[in-house]
Structure 1
């Protein structure tokens, strides 16, 4: 697991021994969430980002995290592909 992006005390990570579909884990000191990336073969049409699981984040706290994931979506999908192969 490598931290790809940070947001305050939260880290956005992709686990190397994880399963499909493409997704990231947002790990904080007391909270965690999983977001589907919906990566595909065309970098211009990745997304939309969807929340799959939320363990303790308040809705308002997820808004800037989603924006950060969306802003880094191409990078995150490229890393998913590097670690896990084709989508």
Structure 2
């Protein structure tokens, strides 16, 4: 299945498509979170929170081509919020 098709399915509420998209991005998300917090367990928490935020707001994603960028932006904002606490 094409990447854009998965994003479209996920936007329509297909949990399996969303899960597959996240699996493809998870390693990158973890590495990026780790760069921000320099701690394994905090990085994992940030990734989980990012996935949750993406799941509840995926219908707001306007351009399917930018799913990866959108997800990365959520992660960066989540990591920055975490560092402020």
TM-score between the two structures when normalised by the length of structure 2 = 0.39
| Larger proportion of helix | 2
The structure with more strand, counted as a fraction of residues = 1
TM-score (norm 1): 0.38
Q: Which has the larger radius of gyration?
A: 2
Highest RCO, 1 vs 2 (Cα 8 Å, sep ≥ 6): 2
